[in-house]
Copies of this chain bind each other. A is one copy, B any other.
Amino acid sequence: MKRTSRDIRTANRYEVLRQIIARSPTSRQELASATGLSLATVATLVGELLDLRMITEVGFEDSAGGRPRGLVAVNAAGGALIGVDIAETYVHVELFDLALNVLARAEEDIRPGESRPEQVIDHVAAAVGSVVAQAGVEAARVLGVGVSVPGQVDRATGIAEYAPNWNWHDVPLLDLLSEHIAYPLHLDNPLRACAVAELWFGAARGHEDAVVVNLGTGVGAGLVLGGGLHRGVSNSAGEWGHTTLVLDGRLCHCGNHGCVETYVGAPGIMRNLRELDPRSPLLHPEDQTATVDALARGVAEGDPVAVKVVRDTARYLAAGIADLVNLLNPEVVVLSSWVAARLGEPLLDEVREAVARHALRRPLAATEIVLSPIPTDPVCLGAATFALEGALQSVGQRAAQRVVSGKGRTAPTA
């Protein structure tokens, strides 16, 4: 319980800014009605955001017969946020304004064998330098950099505890990055980045309970529960890719057998194809992306092998998604990341049909399954959102310190 009042305050600050980003320009009255918060609370939070120049006053609107209402809008130029998506084969970096428009992009390839932390960090530093230069923003205006790295991370210490693709153990990633990058750094993983991107800007917006299923080389599920990200006690919730789908099934790199990831991650999909037709021209043995692209084209052209592989993959995926539906009873399941984007509607159709066979009637009736509507890289967007959340949290800490030093105890009556 000790965390409650500060958590609520931070969550309310997020929610007000989310609504301003979605509705700019908007009035305090409209924000109060959209968030369910009192007008006084909204006015306080709007004041904090104005102080920080994250939003600006942009005029007045008439209110039927009453006093004209002040309008606020997000101050797009009030700061820049950087999102870093470190994946197995590339580093993708985007620089955003405060309305989360992309102002600049950079991509670096990670070649096979380039898996030492120092090598990866050099790519990150180069790409971050590139987006800042391209966008021409002053260093002081960069509010923060969110960094997503696959696997298990400790946010508080900035350590990548276990990155399965490169077998990294306890790499002090943020310490190493801070030797090259002077902006505030925030570390998390792609599951949670995608979930936060959907929660702020995508298909989870306005939902209390949502699951963002991340389909890439690795797979996992970002969990939005009770309107916020569910992290678990040590920030490792969401490892749905390492839940058992087939007891004693395919060996997984985690040491377990039959994990969901071994059937629906990109290497698992390649294996589904290989088991069906080892010599298929669709198969690019060293290239996951090319293979998934070939499958997508094959499905579009009615190639029976491609259709069968997508159907088999959808069936594995659906059994795993039905588990999430039965266990968590979410309002929406969002399919995100590059495999979902490339296989698109044909995969979605097969998945919906198969989930309906596996899930219980009641939770199934309450759930929608959709593709991520976010048009850009959701991991970069989510990582930038972590930087935004970090900036908002530090506002709150400064505001709280001000009040504490001025008035003594400030615990609210809630």
Residue positions of A touching B, CB distance < 8 A: 1-5, 8-9, 11-12, 15, 35-38, 40-41, 44, 152, 161-162, 208-209, 221, 223, 225-228, 230-240, 242-247, 249, 254-256, 316, 319-320, 322-323, 326-331, 357-358, 360-363, 365-367, 409, 411-414
Bound-state Cα–Cα, A41 to B1, Å: 13
From B35, B240, B322, A1 is in contact (CB under 8 Å) with B35
Contact at B234–A322, with CB atoms within 8 Å?
no
B221–A327 touching, CB < 8 Å: yes
Interchain CA distance A11-B2 in the complex, whole Å: 12
Nearest-Cβ distance from residue A36 to partner chain B, whole angstroms = 3
When distances are taken between beta carbons in the complex, the residues of chain B under 8 Å from A327 are 221, 223, 237-240, 243, 327
Write the chain B residue with the least CB distance to A4: B8
B209 and A319 contacting across the interface, CB-CB below 8 Å:
no
Complex contact A239–B38 (CB within 8 A) = no
- CB of A19 to closest CB in B, whole Å: 9
| A232: B residues at CB distance < 8 A | 209, 328-330, 363, 366
Q: How far is the CB of A399 from chain B (nearest CB, A)?
A: 13
Offer 23 A-B interface pairs, CB within 8 angstroms, sorted by A.
A1-B12, A2-B36, A3-B36, A4-B37, A8-B414, A37-B411, A40-B413, A41-B411, A162-B361, A162-B362, A208-B233, A209-B233, A226-B230, A234-B366, A235-B329, A238-B327, A242-B360, A243-B322, A243-B327, A244-B322, A245-B247, A254-B360, A412-B412
CB contacts (< 8 Å) of A238 on chain B: these are 327, 329
Residues of B within 8 A of A152 (CB): 360, 362
- Contact indicator B36/A15 (Cβ below 8 Å): no
Once A9-B414, A414-B5 are accepted as A-B contacts, the answer to whether A329 and B245 lie under 8 Å apart by CB is no
Q: Nearest Cβ distance between residue A386 and chain B, in whole angstroms?
A: 18
Residues of B within 8 A of A9 (CB): 414
- A170 CB, nearest partner CB in chain B, Å: 11
Q: Which residue of B lies closest to A210 (CB)?
A: B233
How far in angstroms is the closest Cβ of chain B from A311?
15
Partner of A366 from B233, B244, B245, B357 at Cβ < 8 Å: B233
Chain B minimum-CB-distance residue to A238: B327
Known: A12-B414, A239-B329. 11 other contacts (CB 8 A): A4-B37, A40-B413, A162-B362, A230-B328, A231-B329, A232-B330, A233-B329, A237-B328, A239-B326, A256-B322, A323-B323
Residues A326 and B247 in contact in the complex (CB < 8 Å), given A36-B4, A365-B234, A414-B41: no
CB of B227 within 8 A of CB of A330, answer no
Which 3 interchain pairs have the tightest Cβ spacing? A232-B329, A2-B36, A38-B411
A221-B327, A411-B41 known; A1+B237 contact, CB < 8 A: no
Inter-subunit contact A236/B362 (CB<8 Å) = yes
Asked whether, in the complex, the Cβ of A244 is within 8 Å of the Cβ of B358, the reply is yes
Q: Distance (Å) between the CB of A325 and the closest chain B CB?
A: 9
Bound: A258/B358 CA distance, A: 10
Shortest CB–CB separation between residue A116 and chain B, in angstroms?
Answer: 22
Q: Could you tell me the distance between the alpha carbons of A307 and B235 in the complex, rounded to whole angstroms?
A: 37
| Separation of A413 and B412 alpha carbons in the complex (Å) | 8
Most buried by B among A36, A234, A329, A366: A329
Say whether B326 contacts A242, CB under 8 Å.
yes
CB-based contact A245/B244 at 8 Å = yes
B323 touches A234 (CB 8 A): no
The distance in angstroms between the C-alpha atoms of A187 and B228, with both chains bound, is 27
**Residues on B with beta carbons closer than 8 Å to the beta carbon of A226:** 225-226, 228, 230
Nearest Cβ distance between residue A209 and chain B, in whole angstroms? 5
Shortest A233–chain B CB gap in Å is 5
Chain B residues contacting A209 (CB-CB under 8 Å) are 232-233
Nearest CB in chain B: distance from A169 CB, A: 10
Q: Determine the chain B residues whose CB is within 8 A of the CB of A320 once the complex forms.
A: 244
